[in-house]
Amino acid sequence: MLPYIIGGAALGAAGFAGYHSLAWRSQLYGETFIGTPGRGKKLALTYDDGPNDPHTLHLLDVLAKHKVKATFFLIGKFVQQRPDIVQRIVAEGHAIGNHTMTHPRLPLLSSAQVRAEFEGCAAAISRAGFQHEKIFRPPFGLRRPATLRIARELGYTPVMWTVTCFDWKKTTADRVEQHARKQITGGDVILMHDGGFEQMGADRAHTVTATEDLINEYKDKGFEFVTVPEMMKTGF
C-alpha cells in the first residue's frame, strides 16, 4: 500500500506545483503584480505577443480615438521585424514591457536560456531605439521560482493579470467581452493579445472590436484606464 500512497502523494504534489505555475493570481512562486483586484475604479489594458501587422495598428487607432493608454508586452523577434510599429506605440504614450525574445515555455529552459530570452528581447527593443519599462510577463503565464528570480536579478517586476479574455484563440468580440465582464471588479489588469506568438499577421480583429466596446462600457461606468506602471505607482 505504501508505494501507492507515495505515488499518489507525488502525483498530487506535481499537480499542485503545476497548477501554481499556471494560475495567474497565484503568488506561491513569488510575488507578481496583478493590480488591486476588487478595489478602486482603475483598469489596465495589457496586450501580449505584438507588435503585429495589421492589428496592433488598428488597436492603436482605437486607443488614440478614446485617449486611452495601454501596456504592450512585446516579443523581441517581432520587434526586429516591425520596429516602426513599436515606434508608434511609444510615440503615442503607451508602456512597453518584456515578453521574451521567442515566447518559449520558460520553466523548460535552463537558467542561462531564460536569461538569454530576457536579454534578447531587451536588446531588440534597445536596438530599435526604444526604452522599455522594467516589467515582464512570462509567456503562457508559466513561471517557477527560478524564472522569477532571474527576472528580479535583471531588475524586472513580473506582471500577471486578474482578467483573461481568451482572445488568443479563434473567437468573437462578443465572447471576449463576456469573459471580461464576468471578471472585472475594479483594480484589474486585463490580459488580451494584439498578436500571435508563432508568426506575424495573427488575426486579432475580435480583440480590436472588443477593446473599443469595453472602453466605451467601462468609461460610462466611471472607470479610468491606466498603464501598468501607472497602476503600480498610484494603486487604486
Residue 9 domain flag: no
Residue 10 domain flag: no
Confidence at residue 194, expressed as pLDDT on a 0 to 100 scale: 98
Confidence at residue 7, expressed as pLDDT on a 0 to 100 scale: 41
Which class for 178: exposed (0-12), middle (13-18), buried (19 or more C-beta within 10 A)?
middle
Q: Give per-residue burial for 52-63: e unless 16+ CB within 10 Å, then b.
A: bbebbbbbbebb
- Place 222 in a pLDDT band, splitting at 50, 70 and 90: very high
Residue 22 domain flag: no
Confidence at residue 11, expressed as pLDDT on a 0 to 100 scale: 31
Long-range contacts, 88-91 (Cβ 8 Å, 24+): 88/57, 88/60, 89/51, 89/56, 89/60, 90/130
Q: Are 234 and 215 in contact (CB under 8 A)?
A: no
Residue 178 domain flag: yes
Which class for 70: exposed (0-12), middle (13-18), buried (19 or more C-beta within 10 A)?
buried
* Nine-digit cell string for 83: 520596429
- Whether residue 40 is predicted with pLDDT greater than 70 in this model: the reply is yes
Confidence at residue 27, expressed as pLDDT on a 0 to 100 scale: 52
pTM of the model: 0.89
Average the pLDDT over 184-208 and give the result.
97
Domains identified in the chain, total number:
1
Confidence at residue 19, expressed as pLDDT on a 0 to 100 scale: 37
Share the mean pLDDT of the chain: 90
Confidence at residue 31, expressed as pLDDT on a 0 to 100 scale: 79
Residue 7 domain flag: no
CA distance 208 to 63: 9
Residue 13 domain flag: no
Residues with catalytic function:
48, 193
Number of other CB atoms surrounding residue 30 within 10 Å? 16
Average the pLDDT over 38-42 and give the result.
94
Average the pLDDT over 54-72 and give the result.
98
Residue 55 domain flag: yes
pLDDT over 70, % of the chain:
86
Confidence at residue 28, expressed as pLDDT on a 0 to 100 scale: 60
DSSP 194-206: SS-SSSTT---HH
Q: Which domain holds residue 201?
A: 31-234
Q: What is the pLDDT of residues 99-154, one digit of tens each?
A: 999 999 999 999 999 999 999 999 999 999 999 999 999 999 999 999 999 999 99
- Whether residue 6 is predicted with pLDDT greater than 50 in this model: the reply is no
Q: Tell me the three state secondary structure of residue 216.
A: helix
Amino acid at 32: T
* Nine-digit cell string for 206: 475580435
Q: What is the CATH number of the domain that holds 46?
A: 3.20.20.370
Handedness of CA 60, 62, 65, 70 (dihedral sign): negative
CA distance 197 to 104: 9
Residue 190 domain flag: yes
